Chain A
Amino acid sequence: MDEICAKPKPTEVPREEVKQTGFEKQFSVPVNGIPTEIVYHRFGRKRLLVITQLGKIAGTYNVSFDISNSPSVLKPVHNPDFHVSVPITINCCLGANTAEVDCAIQFLVNNTKLWESPTDFVICLGLKEIDSPNLHALAKVLNEVVL
């Protein structure tokens, strides 16, 4: 009884030197050995995702979900015979407007939790090399740490 009535002891939080950041997530992480800066923040109607290995914002792309009212319909199908991507529209606002970048963004949407809450997002993407190992590693980081 005494234990219940007693003033709860403050839980001991391990003291780690964590700097206050200006965004929901902001950190640096090596992806496939390449230092990568990642920033993520949710604004009212849009999310911001900065992924760059170039030390700056190289390209800015506005991504909107074609079907936003029914997340269950958006679910990608990962099947080699019957692959279905999440329907999105990518608008290049700044930087390289190439099929390679579009494919990279589509891959990240299909293979991360980005599609689960279909709020439009702005992605600032600056990858040194766009290839399968890099994108798989990046998707893994986004899934486990960011989203």
Chain B
Amino acid sequence: MENLRISDTAAAGDAVQLNGHGHNQEAGRFTSHMTILDNGPAQFIVRVLKMNGSTMLIINSKESEVFDELAVGMPPRDSTKSDALSSTIMGGYGQTESSVLAAKLSKRYRRQFFVSLNIGGDRLVTPLFEKSLVTYMQSHLDHFV
């Protein structure tokens, strides 16, 4: 959370001090986190935005960060069912890497996930990456859910 100030407070309504500590809605605050996952020769940058009831994950290779694709995964409303739904909402068509990962995460954590996965993985890289991501998530769960 950054400490911020704005010169003309009147113009920002009653935003008196934009310091990130100005209001007491602690429960409503978003938190974000960034990590680099080592996956053999490849390294991936994972950016996480934890919101109320949902999480956004943006994953790129370390060489170049893009935001081309975005998918959303929803947990099943009925707790007896285990299938999660996902859809690609930006970039790509049909079932994309992002939508597959969004569905898996929504199913696992029973939470809405926005996923932007831009690693151009293949059958070898993607499973290894998913394993390292899930291992990291399990050990740093408070950053994600």
Interface positions, chain B 1-50, Cβ under 8 Å from A, are 1-4, 6-8, 11-16, 18, 20, 22-23, 25, 28-30, 32-34, 47-49
Q: Is A8 an interface residue (CB 8 A)?
A: no
- In-complex Cβ contact of B22 among A30, A44, A52, A144 (8 A): A30
- In-complex Cβ contact of B32 among A39, A140, A141 (8 A): A39
Q: Is B53 an interface residue (CB 8 A)?
A: yes
Q: Is B68 an interface residue (CB 8 A)?
A: yes
Residue numbers in A under 8 Å from B47 (CB-CB): 22-23, 41
- Contact of A45 with B66 in the complex, beta carbons under 8 Å: yes
Interface positions, chain A 18-77, Cβ under 8 Å from B, are 18-23, 25-33, 35, 37, 39, 41, 43-48, 50, 52, 55-57, 60, 62
Whether A137 contacts B11 in the complex (CB less than 8 A), given A43-B66, A43-B67, A55-B28, comes out as yes
- Contact of B54 with A140 in the complex, beta carbons under 8 Å: no
Q: How near does chain B come to A95, taking the closest CB pair, in angstroms?
A: 9
- Contact of B49 with A133 in the complex, beta carbons under 8 Å: no
Q: Is B125 an interface residue (CB 8 A)?
A: no
CA A79 – CA B109 in complex, angstroms?
Answer: 52
Q: Is A1 an interface residue (CB 8 A)?
A: no
Number of interface residues of B (CB under 8 A): 45
Q: How near does chain B come to A43, taking the closest CB pair, in angstroms?
A: 4
- Contact of B54 with A29 in the complex, beta carbons under 8 Å: no
Q: How near does chain B come to A36, taking the closest CB pair, in angstroms?
A: 9
- In-complex Cβ contact of A26 among B7, B22, B49, B58 (8 A): B49
Chain B CB within 10 Å, residue with most, of A30, A33, A35, A48: A30
Q: Is B89 an interface residue (CB 8 A)?
A: yes
CA A39 – CA B94 in complex, angstroms?
Answer: 28
CA A58 – CA B23 in complex, angstroms?
Answer: 22
What 10 A-B pairs come out closest when comparing CB atoms?
A: A32-B13, A22-B32, A22-B34, A55-B52, A43-B67, A137-B13, A140-B11, A93-B89, A46-B67, A22-B47
Other than A21-B1, A22-B49, A56-B53, give 12 A-B pairs with Cβ distance below 8 A: A22-B48, A23-B34, A26-B2, A26-B30, A29-B18, A31-B13, A32-B12, A35-B28, A43-B60, A43-B65, A122-B70, A141-B18
29 chain-A/chain-B pairs, Cβ below 8 angstroms: A21-B2, A22-B48, A23-B34, A26-B32, A27-B2, A27-B4, A28-B20, A28-B22, A28-B23, A29-B12, A30-B15, A32-B15, A33-B14, A37-B28, A39-B30, A39-B32, A41-B47, A44-B67, A48-B58, A48-B67, A55-B52, A57-B51, A57-B56, A134-B13, A137-B12, A137-B13, A140-B8, A141-B18, A144-B12
